Amino acid sequence: MEQRRADILKAAQEVFIEHGYERATMKHIMDAANISRGGLYQYFSSKEAVFETILEESLAMELDETLDMVKENATSYWDMLMKIIFGEDGEPDDDMDPLSPAKLEFFIIGRNDDHRREYGKVRYNNGLKIYATIIEHGQKSGEFSPRFDHQIIARSIISFIDGLAVEHAMLSKEDLKIKEQSMLFVEYLKLALGISGRD
């Protein structure tokens, strides 16, 4: 049962990447997952439920990984922050989360829906916790300057990433220059956190 559910979510994620949130249908998900209508509805009641599950599980995994890294303290807090923002190698590149346009659609189109607004708020706060936890521990350890509140810096990270996601939904990589903007943002973070001598 768990494996089947995981297979459905994996197939659904590809559907949302290909079609976006609004144009994707439960029929697309059924076909991609090679499952019957009854089989799909046994796991998920709607397209919204499928999408929210994808978002929740991804964020929960990131939060668990962050808390594990902080507990183990196996690397510097700066390196942790870069890995959470940019992926395993911790370096800016031209790639964005391929699901980001669908996420944008989901939240913008649903901005007047009470459930979706509440869900968006919970998701934002969980994302905030990921960045704020690393920054707070880095400040307590002395690796980061305490000059700026850890939550404000965490919010600015989310705003930067969300801003790129909005533009990424409409512009090409060449027009957006994700890597160059990201490199500049890293310099801003170094200043805000009092990091010097890091490449």
Dump pLDDT digits (tens) for 132-150: 999 999 999 999 999 999 9
With a cut of 80, say whether residue 74 has pLDDT above it. no
With a cut of 80, say whether residue 75 has pLDDT above it. no
Q: Is 45 exposed, middle or buried (0-12, 13-18, 19+ CB in 10 A)?
A: exposed
Rounded CA gap, 152 and 103, in Å?
A: 23
pTM beyond cutoff 0.85: no
Q: What percent of the chain has pLDDT over 70?
A: 97
Residue among 80, 90, 57, 96 at smallest CA distance from 132: 80
Cβ proximity of 37 and 72 under 8 Å: no
pLDDT at residue 73, rounded to an integer: 64
Mean pLDDT rounded to a whole number for the chain: 90
Mean local confidence (pLDDT), 72-99: 86
Segment 9-50, tens digit of pLDDT: 999 999 999 999 999 999 999 999 999 999 999 999 999 999
